[in-house]
Structure formats: structure tokens, C-alpha cells
Amino acid sequence: MTDAPGPADTRPAGPGPAPGDAAALPPAGGRRPPVCAPWVRTRLRSAPAAAGALALLVLALSFLAAAAPRALDRYADTALHRDLASRSPVVRSIDAEAVLGPAQDLSPEAVAAAVSPARLAAVERRLRDTVRPPLRIDPAAVSYGVSTSSGHLALTDPGLPEVDGLQPTATLAWRQGADAHVRMAAGRPPRAAPAAGGAGGAGGDGGDGGQGGFTVEVMVSRATADLLRVRPGSLLHLRPDTGPPFVLRVSGVYTALSAADPYWGFGQTLLRPALASAPPPGSAQYWHVGMLVGDASVRVLPRAGTVDAAWHHPVAADGLAAREVAAAEDRLDDLVSGTAASRLRSGTGVPGGLSVTSPLPAALAAFDRGRAAAAPLLAVAGAGLAGVAGAVLLMAGGLAADRRTGELALLRARGAGLPALAGRLAAETAAVALPAAAAGLSAALLLLPTARWGASAAAAAAVAGLVVLVVPLRAVLPHRGRGTGPARADVARTRPSRRRTVLDLAVLAAAAGAVAAVRQRGIAAGGVDPLVSGTPLLLGLAGALVLLRVYPWPLRLLARVAAGRRGAVPFLGLARAARSPASGTLLPLLALLLALTVAVFGGTVLYGISDGRTRAALAQVGADARIESGTELPPGLPRTVAELPGVRSAVPLRVQGGLGLLLHQGGMANGFTLVVADTAAYARLSAATGIGRFGTGLLRGGGAVPALASPALAARIGGGAQGPLVTTYGSFDVRVAGTLAQTPAARDGGDFLVVPLEQVRARWARASSAPLPAPDLLLLTGPVDPSALHRTVERARGAEAATVSVRTEVLSALDRAPLPQGATALYAAAVASVAVLSVLAVLLSLARSAPGRAALLARLRTMGMTGGRRYRLVLLEVLPPLVAAAVAGTLLGLAAVPVLGAAVDLAGLAGTDVPTGLGVRLGPLLAPGAGLLALAVGAAAAETAVTGRRRIAAELRAGEQ
């Protein structure tokens, strides 16, 4: 057709290869692609990077969704197991007990028949059948037996150790499987049948002796043998309150195979003697020992009076899942007082019946309380994570849809129906999302093993379903109208529609309502509430909506300023930032803002927790370490301790609690603690710890002893001198010279009075020639080595009653407490996940706008723009929305502190008793935003470097699309 204009008639086919040529060039693979393209496969193959990004996102989100319920389960299970394991088997046992004796109208013969080892074993089997899941008994820890009622069998031999002039008492016990739990130190286990008759075994030939009593073989623990000074072959005499006397022949001395064995938990006196006290009026103390008898002797135990049969079933510490706690509590209720209990009472053949008791419900209830206290804050973290995940998902869907706009417009123009389009997109998305979600679910199942998986599968399926729904809908909806697709909308020019205004106002109202509700009720009160849990998220959302409206203003202004300047780079960069499509900017902005708000808020929570624990530990110890005793500390101890490495100061204090003071104005100030302290040392101490700082000048001056009082006590006492105050350290008048909120010396938080040692000592010296009683409290500062301190105090003579607490040890105990540790870790994991999601959001949004930028950069390269200026251009285009999001997100997270702060008590998460609020520190506050910006700057640098190396021609060609 290059010839002259031909006649208007049509002409035969234009030039081009003859049909013969058309056979040329099958594609490199050799096989011809089918004419009707298999859509999904073609799409995936054509855009592997986009498919990969989507797969990665779905993988991450479905993993998070599937991991959340499992992590919760595992956290609760682990905490429960650790909690139970940290308690002694005695506290997690289900115990059955039967008391048999004259009080039950039972003859010794009847009792003997009922408590024979065979009968006891039968009852045990019955009990084990009754204790059903979810309660699981630790079979190795089960023990049962029968013993004489404690306390009434006095050992009559002369020369036995006495404490307050009372004879020792003994319990004769038979325990199932005792031989398997002891090692004989001397002699042999008791074996011989009891012999009737009196001392020296000069009785008849066994059997139930008459009035003469019995000779019974026993074995005793090494500690008991040492106390009683007996060895195999020794004889002891036992006189029950009623019935015949017993002669005990020691056949052997044993030690426990393992003292930690739960088997011994229920019979401590069988291992070592204990000091018992007589009933109050006298409260005299005496020794009580346990002795084991052989199988053959069980039948004579009832002769000594009432016997106790007991069956102990410690529950396996790791046998109970947290989700079964409620069922376990019901089951325990049933066992203790329900139908199972009544069946046991009547059905076991024990005369008088069994009673079942268990301390386990108390332990479980404590666990439940702890878990309920942590739940609301975990719900906040969960809601934040879910919200951010949803926003990132929406954003990814939006970006994917934007990328496809042209293609969809073309298809639509060629007559593709919306359902057909959506169907194709859904199939395409599902082909990526379903395997990715399955992989995410599998990863969660594998990495977080726990029993339940239903919720995880549902959550992963929900993520996959949401993706398969959101991506096509988001892509197709803008093409709904009759036109060719969505109209172009620049971020800096788009004006919000009325519908969006209404929506924005609704969100703002919801956020305000949530804040009001939270401030009224408190976050931790009243369990998990969706509105309360979503408050930080709602705040973030509200802030995001406001930001989206405000954001164009400064951008437009900057762009105008840049347009007036000479440099091309600021102008181009800002113009591109302003001209970037609204949909491509707003969703990333929203996702980032939410993520930052949640992350910053989470950071204040985490910091608040650690701060709360630090403060709780300090409050509990009062300094870096504390040595305290009910009596006077040995005089040399302060100096010895002060010389330990790491100790900066050791401040001895004299403390007396429970004091009262008659007031001149009438009435009495009661129950306060007196602290006598060396003014200078105490001032240094309180300055070092930050607890109860004061000016030393306050404690000077004559007249009545100047004192620093707790505010309530100061108000009670009033201004003038009062007294006399009668104390261990003398009687003196006091006047309140100032108030202190706290003192490191008293840790119970009650009222106190601090007086200067110098004046007290002077008054004491005037009144008495005896020395002033020594200090009973020693507070240390400095990084002292705990084990060295413990060792030193243990070795010091006269310090047996002293207790040592070290701040770092208390703190690490707080950190390690099962529930708080798990909950805090979970919270931290949620915040970390949010951080990862925000990184993902930044990278996704950068990747989305990268091709356009690459084309621009290539064009600018042809015009000779240098790499440095291209980098600045990229930064100027990329950073404005990120800076806006970082600043606004940080501010919003920070705003959440005063807005919600009053309502948030982190004590449940921190595991402390004192109320713990959010903690603000600059580092954690700024880190998320700064990190994101640094990431963006790095990504921009990488992008400039990569595009700078690529061939310009390829770039220009690729950029056309």
C-alpha cells in the first residue's frame, strides 16, 4: 500500500507473507501452544513473580491464622503443665481417706479385715477406675497405705530426745511398695509376723496377743534412727492411749531411693522426724517420727486405736490440657461431692465409707484466674494482628487488581461478563492461594504441635477463602459500570465521595465509643470484649482515615514549592508521589498505619510489662539484695557481706512492725512499721534505688526525734511532737518532719515511720547501759553474685533464720512464672508478626510501583541523569506516604497511651500484684517507624542500583506495558 493512492475500491489482501510462509516458527519448545489458552496455567506462567508474591503472602497469613489458635493452646497447656509441675504432688493429688476405729463402732478385727493390703489394693483399683479423663493419674506417683492415727502413740523409752519435756510420738504405717522405694542402710525390711506378748519378744507364738500387747518389727529412716539412737535389733516401747502397749523391734534402717520421689510427698515423717506442737494453751513442742511395718503386721495396727487408710493419686503434671480445665474441675467436683463421691462412699466396701478430697481445684482455679487476667490483653494483640493482616490482605488484593486494570478493561470491552471475569480471577487466585494456605496450615501444624487442629484448619481456610474472594471482587468491582473501567484518580486530587465521608464518620464514632467504653470499664475487666479488644485497631483505623484526608494537603504544598524551585529532582519526585494512583497509595497507607499503631502500642505494652516486673522486683526486695531475719543479724554479717564482690553498699536497718502510738489529740495510730536507719547511709540507699528519696536535712534537729512518715500516717499523727513511742530500740517522742511515699525497708506497702539511728542510739545510751539491739535487716546495692551471697549467709553463724532475696533472682522468677511468661511471649510474637506484616506491606507497595519507576528511570538515564539524582528521585517518590504513615502511626500508638493508659492494667500479663501501666520509652516507640523508613530507603537504593545496571532498551520496552 505504499504506492500512490489507489482507487477507492477495495483491493485484495495487503502484503505479508504468503500463506506458505506461515508455517514458520513454532515456539522454542517445539510443541504448539493450544489456541484456546488454558487460562490459569498461562496466567501463572506469565506472571510468576506476582503469583509468587501472592503465594508468599497467603502462606504468611494462613500460617499466622493457623498458628494463632495452636500457639494459644500451647501457651495455656505449657503454662498449666509448668504450673502443676512446680507444685508438689501433694497439691495436685486426688486423695481418698477412710478413718476406721472405735468411733465408727468397729471392732479391731473388723478394721483389720477392712485394711488388709489386699483390701486396700482392691479399693485402689476401684478408685483408679473412678478417676477418669480429663483427669489423668501419674501411676508412678500413686501411693496408698494405712497408718495409726498420728499423735497419740508415745514412745515411752527413757532417754529419748525431748524438746519441751514431752516424749516423742510415733506413727506406725504400712505403705504399699515401700521396699521398692528404699535402700536399706542397715538390717533388713520388717518381715516377721507380730508376736503377742510384752517386752523382749517374750510373747507367745504370734497371732493376736491378749492384754500383753505385741511385738512388731519396724524399719526407720536414717534420720529417725539418728534421732532416736536406734539400730537394727533395738527395741522401743510404744504406749497407745487405749489398748495394749507395743514393743517395736527395729529390723532395719533405710534411706529413700530418691527423696524427691512423689511417693514420699505424702509421708514426710517416714523420711525425717518432725517437730509437732501440742494444742495452743501450752503449745509445747515434741518430736514426731514415722516407722514402717511389714505386710504381716498390718492386722495389729487397729489394736493401737483408730487407723487412717489413705490413697493418694497425684495427677500427672502434663496430663491435663488447659482446655480440659473446666471439665477437670467438674470431674473433681463430682469426685469430691457429687454422684461419684456417693458411689465411692458406699460402693468400696470400706466400713464407714471413703471421703475424697483434693487441693487440685484450688490450683486449677488459680490457673484460671491467671489466664483470665491475661486473656483480654492477648485479645487486644490478636485483634491487632488480625486487623493488620486483613489490611495487608486488602492491600495486596488492591495492588494485584490495579496491576490488572488494563487487562480487565480490554477483556470487558471485548465482551467479557463480570461473573466470567471474576470466575477466571478466582480460579487463578485459588490455584495459588489454596496450595499456599495448605502449606501455611501444614507449617503451623508441624511447627506448633498440639492436639487441636480444627480451629487452625478453619482459620487457614478462612484466609484462603478470603483471598479467593477479595482479589477477584476487588479487581472486578471497578469495572462494574457501563464504561471502560475505573476512572483515573490521583492521590493528591481525589476528593472523597459522600459515601466515604459517612463511612469515615461511622468509624470515628465507633473509635470514640470504644475509647469511652474502655476508659469506663478498663481493658482487663470483664473478660474479652470485641469492642475493647479492637480499640487500638479502631484508633489506628480512625487515624488512618483522618490521615488519608489530610495527606494530600502537605503533598500538594510540597509539590507546588518544588515546582517553583530550580531542581528537577524534587519536582519530578513529588509530582510522581502526588500523581500515584489513589488506590495504590491509600491501601498501603492504611495497612502501614494500622501496623505501626498496633506495633507501637504493643511496644508500650511489652515495655510496660518489663518495667512493671522490674519495679515489682525492686519493690519486693527494696534494693539489689535483702537479708532479713526475725531476730538480730549476727554482728559480723554486714561487714562480711559488704566485702563480697559487686556489693557497693550494705545498709543495716532496724525494723519493728506492728507498732502503735497514743496520740495527744486522742485516738491511736496503729499497725505501722518503725525503721531505724543511719541517715546518711539510708539517704544514699534510697537515692540509689529510687525508692523514697528524701533530703537528709529533714532528719536533723533537736527535741522530739524527727521522723519521715508514710502520707497516711503523717496525716494521722499531725504536726507536733507525739509520744512516747515505745519500741525495742527505746522509748522516745517523735515529730513528723516529712512524708515519704515508700521505704525500701518495708515491703508490705503499709504505714511506716523512719527515724534517724543517731538520735535513737543517743537516747538509748542515755537510758540504758546495754547495747542497742543489732540490726535485723540488711539492704545491699550493687551487682552482687546471688550464689555467693546465699553461700555467705548460709555459712554465717547465727544467721540460720535469715532469708536472702536478690532482686535479679526475684525478677527472673517473675519473668519465668509459667502463665505470665507464656502470655508475654505470645504477645511479643503477635507484635513481631505485625512488624513482619508491615515490612511485607512496604515491600509489596514498593514492588507494585517499581515497573513504572523503572521505565521513568530508564528514560531519565537516556537524558543523562546521574545515579545519585535518580536515587533521590526514587526516595522523593517513595518516601512521602511512608513518612506520613510512620509519623502518624507512631503518634497514634503514642496517643493510645494517654487515651487508653488509665484503662490498661498489665498486672495480669506481667504476673505482678501491683497495678502495672503502659510504659513509654523513646527507643521502642520510635523503632517500628524508623525501621520501616530505613527499610524503604534501603529498598529504594537497591532498586536504583538494580535498574541502573539493566539495559535501557529492555527497560523502556518493558515499561510500555
175 neighbors 292 (Cβ within 8 angstroms) = yes
115 neighbors 100 (Cβ within 8 angstroms) = yes
Mind giving me the DSSP string for 533-600?
HTHHHHHHHHHHHHHHHHTHHHHHHHHHHHHHSS-HHHHHHHHHHHHSBHHHHHHHHHHHHHHHHHHH
Give the shortest CB-581-to-another protein separation in angstroms: 16
Give the shortest CB-1-to-another protein separation in angstroms: 4
Give the shortest CB-57-to-another protein separation in angstroms: 21
Which parts of 598-617 interact with another protein (CB under 8 A)?
Answer: none
Give the shortest CB-573-to-another protein separation in angstroms: 24
Count the alpha carbons within 13 Å of 11 in the hemisphere toward its beta carbon. 8
Residue choice 129, 280, 414, 497 for contact with another protein (CB under 8 A): 414
875 neighbors 896 (Cβ within 8 angstroms) = no
632 neighbors 776 (Cβ within 8 angstroms) = yes
585 neighbors 491 (Cβ within 8 angstroms) = yes
Residue choice 105, 205, 748, 960 for contact with another protein (CB under 8 A): 960
Nearer to another protein, 769 or 961 (CB): 961
Residue choice 482, 498, 766, 797 for contact with another protein (CB under 8 A): 482
Residues 1-20, one symbol each (x = binds another protein by CB under 8 A, - = not), give xx--xxxxxxxxxxxxx-x-
Residue choice 139, 200, 406, 671 for contact with another protein (CB under 8 A): 406
Nearer to another protein, 39 or 828 (CB): 39
Query: Sign of dihedral through CA atoms 470, 471, 473, 474?
Result: positive
Nearer to another protein, 5 or 702 (CB): 5
Give the shortest CB-39-to-another protein separation in angstroms: 9
Q: 506458505: which residue's cell? A: 20
Residue type, 272: R
Nearer to another protein, 9 or 129 (CB): 9
Contacts of 80 (CB under 8 A, 6+ apart): 320, 321, 322, 325, 367, 818
Binding piece for another protein, criterion CB under 8 A, among 405-413, 660-668, 767-775, 860-868: 405-413
Nearer to another protein, 307 or 471 (CB): 471
Give the shortest CB-9-to-another protein separation in angstroms: 7
Contacts of 593 (CB under 8 A, 6+ apart): 540, 543, 544, 547, 885, 888, 889, 892
Alpha helices in 87-204, H assignment, sequence order: 108-114, 117-130
Nearer to another protein, 205 or 960 (CB): 960
Contacts of 141 (CB under 8 A, 6+ apart): 89, 261, 262, 263, 265, 312, 313, 314, 316
Give the shortest CB-588-to-another protein separation in angstroms: 25
Give the shortest CB-36-to-another protein separation in angstroms: 5
297 neighbors 114 (Cβ within 8 angstroms) = no
Q: 522509748: which residue's cell? A: 731
842 neighbors 932 (Cβ within 8 angstroms) = yes
d(Cα 562, Cα 571) in Å, to the nearest integer? 5
Using CB under 8 A as the binding rule, whether residue 180 contacts another protein is answered as no
Using CB under 8 A as the binding rule, whether residue 48 contacts another protein is answered as no
DSSP 25: -
Give the shortest CB-587-to-another protein separation in angstroms: 24
Nearer to another protein, 34 or 454 (CB): 34
Residue choice 91, 122, 416, 774 for contact with another protein (CB under 8 A): 416
Nearer to another protein, 86 or 501 (CB): 501
CB atoms under 10 Å from CB of 297, counted, come to 23
Using CB under 8 A as the binding rule, whether residue 30 contacts another protein is answered as no
Give, for 900, the enclosing helix (H) or strand (E): helix 867-901
Task: With CA atoms as reference, report the closest residue to 130 among 334, 277, 323, 266.
Answer: 334
**Beta strand pairing status for 235-239 and 246-256?**
antiparallel
Using CB under 8 A as the binding rule, whether residue 43 contacts another protein is answered as yes
Using CB under 8 A as the binding rule, whether residue 281 contacts another protein is answered as no
448 neighbors 67 (Cβ within 8 angstroms) = yes
Residue choice 292, 354, 363, 410 for contact with another protein (CB under 8 A): 410
Nearer to another protein, 485 or 646 (CB): 485
Residue choice 192, 411, 462, 937 for contact with another protein (CB under 8 A): 411
Nearer to another protein, 38 or 695 (CB): 38
Number of residues that bind another protein (CB under 8 A): 52
Give the shortest CB-398-to-another protein separation in angstroms: 21
Using CB under 8 A as the binding rule, whether residue 21 contacts another protein is answered as yes
Residues 57-96, one symbol each (x = binds another protein by CB under 8 A, - = not), give ----------------------------------------
Give the shortest CB-895-to-another protein separation in angstroms: 35
Residue choice 420, 801, 825, 934 for contact with another protein (CB under 8 A): 420
Nearer to another protein, 97 or 490 (CB): 490
178 neighbors 154 (Cβ within 8 angstroms) = no
Using CB under 8 A as the binding rule, whether residue 49 contacts another protein is answered as no
Residue choice 164, 241, 330, 407 for contact with another protein (CB under 8 A): 407
Give, for 330, the enclosing helix (H) or strand (E): helix 325-337
Using CB under 8 A as the binding rule, whether residue 483 contacts another protein is answered as yes
Give the shortest CB-483-to-another protein separation in angstroms: 6
Q: Report the interface residues with another protein, using CB under 8 A.
A: 1-2, 5-17, 19, 21-27, 32-37, 42-43, 45-47, 406-407, 410-417, 420, 482-484, 493, 957, 960-961
